[in-house]
Amino acid sequence: MQNFDYQTPTRLLFGKGVIEQLPEVLGAIGKTVLLAYGGGSIKKTGLYDKVLSLLEGFTVVELPGIQPNPKYDPSVLDGVRLCKERGVDVILSVGGGSVLDCSKAIAAGAKYDGDPWDLITYKVKAKAALPIVDILTLAATGSEYDCGGVISRTETNDKIGYIDELLFPVCSFLDPTYTFTVSKKQTAAGCADAMNHIMEQYFCEDSTLLNDGFCEAGFRSLMINTKRCLENPSDYTARAEMMFACTLGCNGIYALGNSPSGWPLHGIEHALSAYYDITHGEGLAIVTPRWMKHVLSDRTVDRFVKYGVNVFGVDPALPKFEIAEQAIERTYAFFEEIGIPMHLRDVGIDESRIDEMARHVAENEGLENAWVPLFEADIAKILRDSL
């Protein structure tokens, strides 16, 4: 078991109707609120009107239109400018992980005099950040319970994970009913994203019985509940459990004390969605079984055996490599069953930029230090196998 230093100050308000506490939570922080949101689905569902009615008495500055794989330009830059010009006290992020990730970059940028890109690329360490409160509408990224975000810069094909302990949300409002209207596509992609967050912690050199049990419970819970959500999008219990399993995804709690894996799946996928702006969870799901096959070896097989037996119920009496291969096949089959396109060409990616992406990943993601080290040729092979 590895040493760790862990602290998550975020308050979680979970369940139907918790939004009624929004004025109290925001009121304790300040009066001028940057209301950040996405493409307008919250207007269709009525959540936008509900939030505005609860914000009566606050000064509301709106930042609409934040896109998936949120963009440095214009969203982060616009948000920072608005916060500075209007003296924003607190950012209220209403949406999924993209809106929240963007809000985190804005929160840090708003308290910094220079180019916010300095912070995102760690050239400068943030000294302060605006407080963030979020209302989650999509179960996926876990950004509501961590201090990181991912920001894309289109002109350089960069998609950068930005982590700073100043960026834990003060309070996350998690009402599963807000996810009833999430499409099948996004429900499945959210599941794949969260499954991958757990995989990035589970597939490592040194873990504990406790953590393995936590992770395996996460996998099983996500798989069963996602299928229930797809069958009946208004199944409160399934939406609730899926939401919470996702919320814990990037917080560390699934595997405190495990050795670091290097997060290879995210490292590879970030290039896919940076170059092609695809849905992050879909990119992860496509890469996952190909990565698994690539890294399966005498050294790693026991880990895949444990995964196969405890997550998929594969017969432990089978030969080890057969269990591992079944586990990989069943991972693929699960993603396919929930409707994820399982080939890169299905999401509009062909061979043309594979080598370029592989080089970008090899140069920027540090995967030579991953659980199973990955170099440019490995990454290119995994991407080709994913076509």
CB of 165 to a second copy, least distance (A): 10
Pick 230 or 387: Cβ nearer a second copy: 230
192 sits in the region (left: phi over 0; alpha: psi -120 to 50; else beta) called: alpha
- Token pair belonging to 225: 């509940």
Burial class of residue 281 in the structure, from the number of CB atoms within 10 Å of its CB (0-12 exposed, 13-18 middle, 19+ buried): buried
Beta partners for residue 134, in sequence order:
93, 172
CB of 253 to a second copy, least distance (A): 6
Residue numbers of the site for a second copy (CB under 8 A)?
A: 1-18, 176, 208-210, 212-214, 216-218, 220-221, 224-225, 236-237, 240-241, 244-245, 253, 256-257
Short-list 386, 160, 371, 119, CA closest to 258:
371
Pick 40 or 213: Cβ nearer a second copy: 213
Burial class of residue 202 in the structure, from the number of CB atoms within 10 Å of its CB (0-12 exposed, 13-18 middle, 19+ buried): buried
CB of 7 to a second copy, least distance (A): 4
Q: What is the 3-state secondary structure (H, E, C) of 331-382?
A: HHHHHHHCCCCCCHHHHCCCHHHHHHHHHHHHHHCCHHHCCCCCCHHHHHHH
- Largest pairwise CA distance in the chain: 66
- Give the integer Cα–Cα distance in Å for 279 and 331: 19
CB of 245 to a second copy, least distance (A): 5
CB of 351 to a second copy, least distance (A): 40
Pick 185 or 220: Cβ nearer a second copy: 220
Pick 141 or 225: Cβ nearer a second copy: 225
CB of 239 to a second copy, least distance (A): 9
Strand segments (E) across 129-170: 132-136, 148-153, 158-163
- Give the integer Cα–Cα distance in Å for 334 and 361: 27
Pick 56 or 209: Cβ nearer a second copy: 209
Say if residues 254 and 201 touch (Cβ distance below 8 Å): yes
CB of 345 to a second copy, least distance (A): 35
- Give the integer Cα–Cα distance in Å for 96 and 37: 9
- Give the integer Cα–Cα distance in Å for 102 and 110: 12
Pick 4 or 122: Cβ nearer a second copy: 4
Pick 4 or 375: Cβ nearer a second copy: 4
Pick 157 or 177: Cβ nearer a second copy: 177
CB of 222 to a second copy, least distance (A): 8
